[in-house]
Structure 1
Amino acid sequence: MSVLVVIPARYASSRYPGKPLAVLRGADGTEKSLIERSWLAATSVSGVDRVVVATDDARIEEAAGAFGAEVVMTSPDCANGTERCAEALGKLGGDYEIVVNLQGDAPLTPHWFVEDLIAGMRRDPETDVATPVLRCDGRALNGFLQDRANGRVGGTTAVFGQSRHALYFSKEVVPYTSRVYGDAEETPVFHHVGVYAYRPEALSAYGTWSTGPLETLEGLEQLRFLENRRSILCVEVEARGRQFWELNNPEDIERIEGMMRDMHMS
């Protein structure tokens, strides 16, 4: 049994058209596109048998092929990355144990986030989907709150029960807390990391379900699983001194490049 990593990437993002081809400059001045940096993050994960980029755009196909990625062309009608992963799995076939969706806007994803996610799925065979969560320190939480105060949608937060299975995900900061935290303090807020691991059966079923009201309101694809009574295991991961942020808006480029400089990432 093996692990497939799919990197869904589309050009026509409503918030940031052409986002996968946006250039990020590393600490040493090296420039690479967002999709290349996401592919490099995926290929650094141990225990993975295959990594593919799934896209509907010839420009992304050409760019990904140029740096050596395997590309699967998918329909422009895919509503989100999970649907694109499901289509890619259908085209690729194969007896995969786990399919990982490492979204193409998360180039700072450390390899151990995905490795811990895969391990969590194997420990809990009843889980349909798993996703990493990262406890926010005060610096990260303040970044979330600043984005919302400025009318921007930044990261996503997750809440889960004692079993570690998700109760909800939101683009708002949940749970609410009125306390002001110092940069290095732990907070009760968990940042949802944009990576998913699916059982192939659950991934294949996803595209057969209609979009529910919560997914529509929040614009969060994982809520379709919760609305259809599928379990999502939240696997808490450790930053180990690494900063993490997803590229959601053009303004995030400067933030991510700053993090790369801080972490001396080329």
Structure 2
Amino acid sequence: MSVLIVIPARYASSRYPGKPLVELRGASGAARSLIRRSWEAAMAVQGADRVVIATDDDRIREHAEAFGAEVVMTSEACRNGTERCSDAVARLGVSPRIVVNLQGDAPLTPAWFIEDLVAGLDAAPDADVATPVLRCSGRMRADLIADRHAGRVGGTTAVFGDRRQALYFSKEVIPFVPHQVGDDEASPVYHHVGVYAYRPEALTDYESCPEGVLERLEGLEQLRFLEQGRRILCVEVEARGRLFWELNNPEDVPRIEEMLAQMGQD
């Protein structure tokens, strides 16, 4: 097997319990669950050999199997999506070249984000992990800042070096920008898209390492790789006119439904 996509999904989210089963209405008014829309996004990826949903909850399993998804049951002890992906690979007994973690709260992820991600990791043999970053417009940056001011944990931002190696990820909006940025201007802020491509050995090592201090403070699983000294490649992706947002809080539901309507997606 070359590329395996794993969609980790848990019911007991501290910020939004039951989130994978939340229904989102598209342009026609038809409602489909968050986890189904994320699975459909994964199924559209060219070059993926297999797509599985990894969960520890029977409600999610039953729902996913009802719409035709392959499901692998994982341990309740998994602390985040990366650990759940590692557990899923072990339980499946497969040896893929690349494992992709498409988190179950990103139904607007275009297929080319993942395709570009896999190509980027293939082209960077010294990288252990790759993850997409999307340059924010002034409007998107302002939305991220507004979430923080309102006390909501919204999207994550990323900063990286000249060779695109990740320097840090934060739920704060970084870097600090001392000047105004117009709504339609490109800002120096990059939104981290919550998708990862791992080399299998990095994924195996991750699960055996303790939770890092920065990971615990920020609540960002990818920081464990940086604290281990592993290289994360940031792959810049293009929106191509598509709108993108992740479902982190209940307040994001109408925002994503509005985006689906604007893009004419059912």
1:32 is paired with a residue whose SS is: strand
1:108-148: CA deviation from partner (whole Å, max 9, x where unpaired): 00000000000001111121000000000011101001001
1:191-248: CA deviation from partner (whole Å, max 9, x where unpaired): 0000000000000111110011100100000000000000000000000001110000
What code does the residue aligned with 1:127 have?
A: A
| Number of residue pairs matched by the alignment | 266
CA shift for structure 1 position 178: 2.6
CA shift for structure 1 position 184: 0.9
Quick one: distance in 2 between partners of 1:30 and 1:240? 25
Quick one: distance in 2 between partners of 1:180 and 1:66? 49
Quick one: distance in 1 between partners of 2:225 and 2:194? 15
Query: Where does residue 89 of structure 1 map in the other structure?
Result: 89
Quick one: distance in 1 between partners of 2:179 and 2:51? 42
CA shift for structure 1 position 95: 2.5
2:147 is paired with a residue whose SS is: helix
2:159 is paired with a residue whose SS is: strand
Quick one: distance in 2 between partners of 1:90 and 1:125? 23
1:36 is paired with a residue whose SS is: helix
Query: Where does residue 109 of structure 1 map in the other structure?
Result: 109
CA shift for structure 1 position 94: 1.9
* Counterpart check, 1:125 vs 2:125: yes
What code does the residue aligned with 1:164 have?
A: R
Query: Where does residue 157 of structure 2 map in the other structure?
Result: 157
What code does the residue aligned with 1:140 have?
A: M
What code does the residue aligned with 2:207 have?
A: G
Query: Where does residue 203 of structure 1 map in the other structure?
Result: 203
1:229 is paired with a residue whose SS is: coil
1:73-99: CA deviation from partner (whole Å, max 9, x where unpaired): 001110000000000000112231000
Query: Where does residue 34 of structure 2 map in the other structure?
Result: 34
Quick one: distance in 1 between partners of 2:74 and 2:191? 29
CA shift for structure 1 position 181: 1.7
1:207 is paired with a residue whose SS is: helix
| Unmatched tracts of structure 1, length 5 or more | none
Quick one: distance in 1 between partners of 2:182 and 2:42? 33
CA shift for structure 1 position 263: 0.7
Quick one: distance in 2 between partners of 1:195 and 1:10? 16
How high is the TM-score relative to the length of structure 2?
A: 0.99
What code does the residue aligned with 2:237 have?
A: V
Quick one: distance in 2 between partners of 1:143 and 1:234? 22
Query: Where does residue 2 of structure 1 map in the other structure?
Result: 2
What code does the residue aligned with 1:90 have?
A: A
Quick one: distance in 1 between partners of 2:87 and 2:95? 15
1:173 is paired with a residue whose SS is: coil
Quick one: distance in 2 between partners of 1:51 and 1:219? 26
Quick one: distance in 1 between partners of 2:93 and 2:99? 11
How high is the TM-score relative to the length of structure 1?
A: 0.99
Which segment drifts farther, 188-197 or 174-183?
174-183
Query: Where does residue 142 of structure 2 map in the other structure?
Result: 142
| Unmatched tracts of structure 2, length 5 or more | none
What code does the residue aligned with 1:81 have?
A: G
Query: Where does residue 17 of structure 1 map in the other structure?
Result: 17
2:118 is paired with a residue whose SS is: helix
Quick one: distance in 2 between partners of 1:137 and 1:96? 36
What code does the residue aligned with 2:134 have?
A: L
Query: Where does residue 251 of structure 1 map in the other structure?
Result: 251
Quick one: distance in 2 between partners of 1:204 and 1:104? 21
2:233 is paired with a residue whose SS is: strand
What code does the residue aligned with 2:183 have?
A: D
What code does the residue aligned with 1:209 have?
A: C
What code does the residue aligned with 1:248 have?
A: N
1:161-240 alignment to 2 at 5 Å?
161-240=161-240
CA shift for structure 1 position 180: 2.1
Quick one: distance in 2 between partners of 1:163 and 1:170? 20
* Counterpart check, 1:64 vs 2:64: yes
Quick one: distance in 2 between partners of 1:4 and 1:258? 31
